[in-house]
Amino acid sequence: MGPGGAAPSGHVLAAWPERVEVLRVADLQPGQDLAAWLRGALAPPDDGCLCAVLLGYDAGRALERWPGTALEDPELPDAVVARYPAWLEAAGPAGPWRLCGRDERARARLEAWLAEAPPETPPTDAPGPLTSRMDRAAHRAAVLDVLDGIRAGDLYQANVARRLEARLPAASAPWLYRALRQQTPAAFGALWALADGLWLASASPECLLTWDAATRELHSHPIKGTRPRGVDPASDGHLADALLASPKDAAEHVMIVDLVRNDLGRVAVPGSVKVRVLAGLQTLPTVHHLVSDVQATARPDVDLVAALLALFPGGSITGAPKIAAMARIERVEGLRRGFYTGSFGLVWPDGRAAFNILIRTCVLARDRLLYQSGGGIVADSDPDVEWEETEHKARALERALDQLRGRPSPEPAPPRRPPASRPGPPSGRSRA
């Protein structure tokens, strides 16, 4: 089970939605808001369907106002909800798969597809080189701009990201996703064909929200604080220990945990917000992270949509104060984030839900691969160190692309067990 029993571990496979709703925030009707749109797209909640939900980062413009100065990508919607009358679940990618859903015709179609799926034909087009839309000098200028804002008292922290792009046909998404998962197994990963020529392939390790309608229990697992993996067990252990002992990373992490506590406090029973784990070590094949588990109990008048939008966009990928940080991000990054740092989630018909934060995420739009890599900037951040962190976070993608090119890539570092006194969040999530 996932945190607090709110969402099952394992994998979900769904196809042939009976309904798909797509939104661009600019198209919201007068008097309509994002919450109302989401509730309408998710209704009715008791018809036995599994709902897949995607909120792009810029869907946050429907919740809060900040200056719209960044360039927009016209190919990407701001929100998508799809309803699946049948789906498959399994503990692992090899199965065995369990057929779910009430619609017998949809179940039979999915079962027949699983039994008769044709052999996969790998793509023949090799990925192009991965290039950054923001060079090192521009990234330094962006970090220094945020540091100026911190010194002026406008904000305490902001997450600055840069976009990486490569030529890669969208049809390569399943193979790219498989390669990404081999490089960095993701507890909250997702692969989703949104439209012809538009795919989402996420290897996210971060949980924005788990929800259980029966118990009213909420969990969020913010990630903040990163070190690369070492080249051998000794250096790997040193890097992990240095992360755990770093005053800078601890301060940065606690700041975001406080922001998440405040966000949950807007929808929680007074006194129910608790930090179950603070700054636990989570070790992935290419990086170490600090992760916390923040828990709350939702008030009786709060539904899933209210809880989700109270947290969205996640504090770990915006900053503090959140709106000031988002305005600064808009100014220094120059491009709208699109799906990056938004959220993908599944809503089960029994009232459980789990949503990630879309980091370590690829968008394949026609023949373009888009990927963003970023990090949190605080008062004592070093621009050179911050640039290197974005490099570390893109390493798994580089290795995955090399795999598609047929080139050998370095083996991921051996796993290092987190200290028992500093556990990370429970692993396990689904894919759609």
Q: What are the residue numbers of the active site?
A: 206, 224
How many residues make up the chain in this entry? 432
CA distances (Å), origin 242, targets 234, 288, 421: 12, 10, 16
Three-state DSSP string of the chain = CCHHHCCCCCEEEECCCCEEEEECHHHCCCCCCHHHHHHHHHCCCCCCCEEEEEECHHHHHHCCCCCCCCECCCCCCCEEEEEECCEEEECCCCCCCEEECCCHHHHHHHHHHHHHCCCCCCCCCCCCCCEECCCHHHHHHHHHHHHHHHHCCCCCEEEEEEEEEEECCHHHHHHHHHHHHHHCCCCCCEEEEEECCEEEEECCCCEEEEEECCCCEEEEECEEEEEECCCCHHHHHHHHHHHHHCHHHHHHHHHHHHHHHHHHHCCECCCCCEEEEEEEEEECCCEEEEEEEEEEEECCCCCHHHHHHHHCCCHHHCEECHHHHHHHHHHHHCECCCCCCCEEEEECCCCEEEEECCCCEEEEECCEEEEEEEEEECCCCCHHHHHHHHHHHCHHHHHHHHHHHCCCCCCCCCCCCCCCCCCCCCCCCCCC
Q: Determine the Cα–Cα distance for residues 431 and 201; give it in Å rounded to an integer.
A: 10
Structure tokens at 46: 């008791």
- Cβ neighbors of 174 (< 8 A, separation 6 or more) are 120, 191
Contact 249, 225 (CB under 8 A): yes
Nearest to 383 by CA among 223, 145, 157: 145
Structure tokens at 352: 């459980």
Q: Determine the Cα–Cα distance for residues 243 and 399; give it in Å rounded to an integer.
A: 24
* Unique residue bearing structure tokens 């007068």: 30
